[in-house]
Amino acid sequence: MLIFDPVSSGFNGYNLDPANPSDYHLGFTQDISSVLSQLQALSHCDDFGYVIHQGANVFTDPVTRLDDCCNFPASFDSRSGSVPPMVRELIQICQQIRPGARHSLLCETGFFSHMPLAAASYAIPRDLYDKGYRRFGGDGLTHQWAWNQIQSRFSLPHPARVITIHFCDHPSLASIQDGQAVDSSMGYSDLEGLPSLTSCGSIDPAIVLDLSENGLSPAEITSLLSEKSGFLTLVSPQFTHLGQIISDDSASTRLAHDIFFHKTIESIGAAAAELQGLDALVFIVEDINGYDRMINEIGEQLSFIGISLKVIPDSSLPAAQLSPRDSSPGAFLLQSKRRDILASFLQH
């Protein structure tokens, strides 16, 4: 199994061959065809996955199977849901190399494609919604995986009201009712929602207008808000990951820590109100180290709604209940690498 995951500099590739698993990176400056032809894993791989971060109204399922003759629209924009050119090229090359294999799109917005209209809409003219200016959500593969894990590992009431929080360099939150996504912290793009390591999160749109009026181009504004903002701009250069920043106890990281805490609590409160209650609060991390302190602080802040939790640092368990057994709401921790989360969607 091979999975290709687009990132800002190219693709992260995950080879999930049980006998020889490996990770690698394909840069945008590299010739994809020549690089792929040298990957020995391709010669015997029967399952390929390609992550797309925006499926819009076209790719509304988390997994879409592709046939060898799949033709993609020639253009791409975030409203059309077309496959980005670099991903399209990658798929076509892999289909040529392994025409008999199974090729699948893994869509990060598919889980949220059936959100209630009120959650999917902005208060802007209706014709703009019809043109695709709406909330699509994001990071849906991780949130749907978390729901599946919680359902299979722990006993939840029916119907269950669950909030899942993904702690990583680009954090996100989802509201889930009995397996159906009700809302997402991300919206039209992943700029909306919680601030990240390099992006601003939700801000007053007037800031964007003011930046434009002061001479910045659309490309410059996009770069500023998505690549040159976020928590890295609030701390010294020695920090490179969000977990390092929020676990640090020095004065230099206090503002970043407090903004992240404030925005996360605010989002949890809004999600719980939207669900009209809460049965389970689920934290998703790749490694608990760096996030244990923040999770404990969130638990203390939410004690007034009955949350009681305690994180054990250095835990290596893939799943753990952080709250006392039979307590409500329950609090849970899931640990998994992204490669394994993505792979779970191709194993069904």
Q: What is the pLDDT of residues 295-343, one digit of tens each?
A: 999 999 999 988 998 877 667 789 999 999 888 999 999 999 999 999 9
- Span 63-68, mean pLDDT? 80
> What percent of the chain shows pLDDT beyond 70?
92
Q: DSSP code of 118?
A: H
The pLDDT of residue 87 is: 84
Whether the predicted pLDDT of 37 surpasses 80: no
The pLDDT confidence band at residue 69, using thresholds 50, 70 and 90, is very low
The pLDDT of residue 16 is: 86
Question: For residue 180, what are the contacts with CB-CB under 8 A and spacing of at least 6?
Answer: 114
The pLDDT of residue 36 is: 73
The residue with greater pLDDT, 70 or 48, is: 48
The pLDDT of residue 66 is: 87
- Span 155-170, mean pLDDT? 92
Classified as helix, coil or strand, 181 is strand
The pLDDT of residue 74 is: 52
Whether the predicted pLDDT of 26 surpasses 90: no
- What are the extents of the domains in the chain? 2-107, 156-343
For residue 196, give Cα distances in angstroms to 67, 226, 232, 328, 338. Answer: 36, 9, 9, 30, 17
Which tokens sit at 174?
A: 């989802």
156-343 classified as CATH 3.30.420.40? yes
> CA quadruple 90, 93, 98, 103: dihedral positive or negative?
positive
Look up tokens 């791409």; give the residue. Answer: 76
pTM over 0.75: yes
- Nearest of 73, 80, 75 to residue 57 by alpha carbon: 80
275 and 161 Cβ atoms separated by less than 8 Å? yes
How does pLDDT run across 253-301, given as a tens digit for each residue? Answer: 999 999 999 999 999 999 999 999 999 999 999 988 889 999 999 999 9
Q: How high is the mean pLDDT of the chain?
A: 89
Please provide residue 335's backbone torsions phi and psi, each rounded to the nearest 5 degrees.
Answer: -120, 125
> CA quadruple 331, 336, 337, 339: dihedral positive or negative?
negative
The pLDDT of residue 44 is: 79
Question: For residue 131, what are the contacts with CB-CB under 8 A and spacing of at least 6?
Answer: 79
Whether the predicted pLDDT of 129 surpasses 90: yes
The pLDDT of residue 148 is: 95
How does pLDDT run across 175-198, given as a tens digit for each residue? Answer: 999 999 999 999 999 999 999 999
Alpha helices in 204-335 (DSSP H): 205-213, 218-227, 242-247, 254-275, 292-301
Whether the predicted pLDDT of 65 surpasses 60: yes
Whether the predicted pLDDT of 42 surpasses 80: no
C-alpha–C-alpha distance, residues 259 and 265, integer Å: 10
The pLDDT confidence band at residue 220, using thresholds 50, 70 and 90, is very high
- Span 100-126, mean pLDDT? 95
Whether the predicted pLDDT of 71 surpasses 80: no
288 and 333 Cβ atoms separated by less than 8 Å? yes
